[in-house]
Each structure stands twice: as structure tokens, then as C-alpha cells.
Homo-oligomer: A and B are copies of this chain.
Amino acid sequence: MDQLKETILEKGKILSPSILKVDQFLNHCIDTELMDAIGKRFADCFAGHGITKVITIESGGIAPALMTAVHMGVPLIFAKKAVPSTMTDPVFVTVHSFTKNMDYTLCMGRSLIAPGDRVLFIDDFLANGQAFEGIRTLLEQQQAVLAGAGICIEKSWQPGRRIVEEASIPLCTLASIASMSPEEGITWNLDHETC
């Protein structure tokens, strides 16, 4: 998606060969025009897949996921990283964050997903695939179907894509990075930009 890739090149900051900072437009300050276009693109990409709900993880994925859900006309659910005091019947899964080098518990209200729901997972990044695996496990517990994954930025040298493909889940990636460094910038992986 050219609009996203141009914004990454203009406003993203490559902190190291593995860390891209996108806080100016994607996961802290939100470029609303870009986010609306991203939501429309994911909605178009997964039209015809019978999606009944969109899911993401707080808080980096909420903006692209909400715009996708708005364009698809379905509800959005965001899984939470801490159990709210008002959550009475949660489902849980433990997820490892390689970025933060720690485990965290992902949870959601059991009643929010029904058996047979066809759920689209949207996230800002795909790297090690742990968030994807966590969501897949949460949905399995509720006999719902993970019907697709829409990712804004993929780090294609990390195992996330392989994990999604091995699960046979349709994957749509808007910007796929083959490699990056502060000195040499970004090399795109055009083969993976399937959306």
C-alpha cells in the first residue's frame, strides 16, 4: 500500500535493524486520513470472507482495527492485557512479547464472541507471530473461526508470516519489510504485499 509505505519512509524512525518507530502516525499519534484508508483497504481485501467481527489487541492495533470494522459494518473487540475489575467471565491466554522480553496475559469477555463467529484479526505489526497465536487460541476456546489476518507492517525476516501460513489463515500485509537499518534505510519485500 503506497500511502502507508510513503508515510513510513517520511515519518518512521529506524532505531535498529529490528525496531521501527511509527509513533508519529500509527500507534501513538494517529494519522486519521491514513488510518481510514488502511481500514478501507482491509475491508476490501476481506470482503466476501463472511467476517462477523474484527478483533485486535490493545492498544497499538485499535486504530487500524476500528477503521476496518467501521468499513465492514461489524463490531470490533479488543483483547485486553489486564483483567478489568468489571470483567466477570473472561477467557485467558498467556502470550510472550519478544519486544518487551516478558509474558503477558491476554483476556476478553467470554460473551463477546459466539461459536461460529468468523473473526478478522487486525494488528499494527507482524513479527514473531505471538499476538496472532494468542488470538487464535482465544478464539479456539470459544469455537469461533479465525477467518483472516490483516497486518499493517510485516517484518518479513521474522517467523510471524510462517506461523500464519502454517495455520492456513488468509493473510493481508500492507507493507512488508525485507530488511532495515538506520544507515541503509528500508528494503521492501514486494512479494509479501498481497493486499
With A23-B87, A59-B58 already in contact, the answer to whether A29 and B66 are too (CB < 8 A) is: no
Q: Is the CB of B35 within 8 A of A70?
A: yes
Copy tally for this chain in the complex stands at 2
Q: What chain B residues lie within 8 Å of A80 (beta carbons)?
A: 28, 59
Q: Is the CB of B75 within 8 A of A109?
A: no
Q: What chain B residues lie within 8 Å of A29 (beta carbons)?
A: 75-77, 109, 112
- A67-96 CB mask vs B (1 if < 8 Å, else 0) is 101100111111010001111000000000
- Can you list 10 A-B contacts with CB-CB less than 8 angstroms, sorted by A residue number? A19-B86, A23-B109, A24-B111, A30-B78, A32-B70, A35-B70, A59-B78, A59-B80, A63-B76, A85-B100
What's the tally of chain A residues with a CB closer than 8 Å to chain B?
38
Q: Of B21, B28, B32, B109, which contacts A73 at CB under 8 A? A: B32
> In the complex, A84→B29 CA distance in Å?
13
User: Given contacts A15-B86, A24-B112, A28-B112, could you give 10 more A-B pairs where the C-beta distance is less than 8 Å?
Assistant: A28-B84, A29-B77, A31-B75, A32-B66, A35-B66, A35-B70, A59-B80, A62-B62, A85-B99, A85-B100
